[in-house]
Structure 1
Amino acid sequence: MIQLSITDGVAEVVLNAPEKVNALDEDALTELSQAYDDAAAAASRGEVRALLLRGEGRGFCAGRDISGVVPADDDVLGYLGEQVTPLLRTMSSFPAPTFAAVQGACLGVGLGLAIATDVVYVAENAKIGSPFANLGATLDSGGHWLFTERLGAHRTLDLIYTAELISGADAVASGLFSRAMPADTLLADTRGIVATVATGATEAFLASKELVAQIRDQRVGLWESLSAENQAQADLCATDDYAEGFAAFQQKRKPLFHGPGGSAAE
C-alpha cells in the first residue's frame, strides 16, 4: 500500500489504501519504513532534497488497522514500541526537509506520522484528535506530547475524555501544525512549496532542522542555542551553497543551489 516516487529532487511517499482510510497494519509499517530508507539512500546520492508524505483518497491516515486485531492476543508493544516508534524516529531524522499534506482523518498512528514530519499542511476540514475513548484505549504515537506541548493539559484531557475531533483550521489556529488550506488545493499547493524547497540550500535547512530538534528534545536554552547557531553558520561557510548564495546576492541574481553532493534541481 506504500508507494515511493522520486522526481526533480522530491521524494513523494503515498499511503495508498483509500478503502480503509490508509490505516496501517504491521506490513504497511514495514513498507513505509523501507520507503523512507530508500528515499534516504537517494538523498545521500544527492537525488532527493525534499520529501512529501500524503495519503490517497478522502483521509490521510485513520491510524492503526485494527480490523483483524484480537485484543487478547494483541502485541501492543510489538506494534507500537518495535515498529511505530522506530519508524517515527526514522522519519524525524530524514536527511532533507520533509512535508506532509493532511486531509480528512489524521488519527492515532496517522497523527504520529504528522508529528514526525518537519512541516505539516492540513486541509481546513481535516479531522484531528483522539477517538480512543470509544475503544477503551489511549492516545499513542506521540499524541500526548504534541497536544500537551501546544494545547496545555486541560485542553488535551478534554479532547481525550470526549473523543472530540478538531478541524484542520482549528488545529492550525491552536498551533498544532503549520498552515491550513482548502481541501481541493491542498496537494497542489503543498507540491509547489516542496518543489521550491527542493531547489534551496539543503545543508542550511538541515542545520536549522537540527537546531530546532535540540530545542524541542533537549530543551536547549537561548545562549546554548545561540552558540550552536554560531557553529552551524561557521560550518556552512565552507559549503558550495554558502558561496553561491553570497555570490548571487552580490551579483543581484537568483542563486542556483546544488545541495550536499548533488546537482541543482531544475
Structure 2
Amino acid sequence: MSQEITLTITDGVAEIMLNAPARLNALGPDMLRGLSDAYAEAAAANVRALLLHGEGRAFSAGRDISGVDPRNDDVSGYLGGLVEPLLAQMSEFPAPTFASAHGACLGVGLGLLIATDVVYVAESAKIGSPFANLGATLDSGGHALFYERLGAHRTLDLIYTARLMSGAEAVAAGLFSQSFPDDEVLEATRAAATNAARGATQAFLTSKELIRELRDRRVGLWESMSAENRAQAALCDTPDYREGFAAFQEKRTPTFGGEAAGAAPHPDRPE
C-alpha cells in the first residue's frame, strides 16, 4: 500500500485517509493503486462500515498532473485503466461507505465522492469543474452526477465558467447528503460510520443494491417494488431480521451482528 494512503480498522469501521497534504491529496497512479489495496484489505477484514477522508487543507484536488507531459499523456490508461476500476470497486464495497469532504473536491477527487454511499461535506468545500482553464473536460462521473442533480443548463454553466460551488450550496442542490461547519464534518461523518457499523448490515446492503438498480438500470416503480419484496423475503432468514423484530416486541435496543442469511446468531445478542 502507498505510504500516502493509511488504513486503520477499529470496532468494525475501516478508516482510509488520503495522506498527501502537500499537494492537496492530488492522485497519481501509485496513490490510486494504494487506495485500491486499502479497499481490498478492508473488504477482506469484513468491516461493517468504511470512512474515507483527506489529510490537510483538501479532500482531493483531483489528478496529480505536476509531472504530466500532455504530448505523451496516457490519459486512457489513467482514467480507464486505474480510475474507473477503482471507482467501481469503491461503489461495490460490501458495507456502507461514508466520505468526509473538505477543501477542494475536484476531478478524480469528486469521483471518489460519487463512488461513496454517503458524503458529508464541509460548508466551505469547493466542488465543480475547474477544467475550463486546462483545456480538458470533467471526468470520473462528474457529468452524470451534475446532470442528474442539476440539469443540463446548470451543469454546462458550471463547466463553461469553472465556477466552484461551496459545500453548503452543493448539499442544497442535492449533490450530497449533509453539510457541516469545517471543524465538525469529520467527526460527524465518523459518528455516522460508527453508527452504521452497529446496524443490520445485510439490510443496508440490500438497500444499496436496490438503489444501484434504480441509478444504473433506471428501473421503474413496479419493478423496483417487486425487487423490494424479494429482498425483504430474503432478509427474513437473517439473524438481524429476527433480532430486530424481537427487540421491538420486547421493547429493548436491538443488538445487530450483521450476519448473512443462515449465519449463527451474534454471541452478544439476547436470545
TM over 0.5: yes
RMSD: 1.3
**Aligned partner of 2:22 among 19, 23, 39:** 19
The code of the aligned residue for 2:140 comes to S
Asked whether the 8 Å contact 1:18–1:57 carries over to 2, the reply is yes
TM-superposition CA deviations, 1:107-143 (whole Å, max 9, x none): 0000000000000000000000000000000000000
Quote the offset at 1:34 in angstroms: 0.5
After TM superposition, the score normalised by the length of structure 1 is 0.97
TM-superposition CA deviations, 1:172-211 (whole Å, max 9, x none): 0000000011100111111111111100000000000000
Q: Residue 167 of structure 1 aligns with which residue? A: 166
In the alignment, structure 2 segments of 5+ residues that lack a partner are: none
Structure 2: distance between partners of 1:4 and 1:66: 25
Structure 2: distance between partners of 1:228 and 1:75: 41
Structure 1: distance between partners of 2:109 and 2:188: 21
Q: Residue 221 of structure 1 aligns with which residue? A: 220
Structure 2: distance between partners of 1:72 and 1:5: 39
**Aligned partner of 2:7 among 4, 16, 24:** 4
Quote the offset at 1:263 in angstroms: 5.2
Q: Residue 76 of structure 2 aligns with which residue? A: 77
Q: Residue 256 of structure 2 aligns with which residue? A: 257
Structure 2: distance between partners of 1:69 and 1:17: 18
Query: What is the count of residue pairs matched by the alignment?
Result: 262
Quote the offset at 1:264 in angstroms: 7.8
Quote the offset at 1:60 in angstroms: 0.2
Structure 1 residue 50 corresponds to structure 2 residue 49:
yes
Q: Residue 106 of structure 2 aligns with which residue? A: 107
Structure 1: distance between partners of 2:84 and 2:244: 38
SS of the equivalent of 1:99 reads: strand
Residue pairs, 1:142-157, within 5 angstroms: 142-157=141-156
Asked whether the 8 Å contact 1:16–1:56 carries over to 2, the reply is yes
TM-superposition CA deviations, 1:80-126 (whole Å, max 9, x none): 00100000000000000000000000000000000000000000000
Of the two structures, which has the highest relative contact order with CA contacts closer than 8 Å and spacing of 6 or more? 1
Percent of aligned positions that are identical = 70
Superposed structure 1 runs of 4+ greater than 3 Å apart: 261-265
The code of the aligned residue for 1:67 comes to S
Q: Structure 1's 263 and 123: CA in aligned 2 closer, same or farther, altered over 3 A?
A: farther
In the alignment, structure 1 segments of 5+ residues that lack a partner are: none
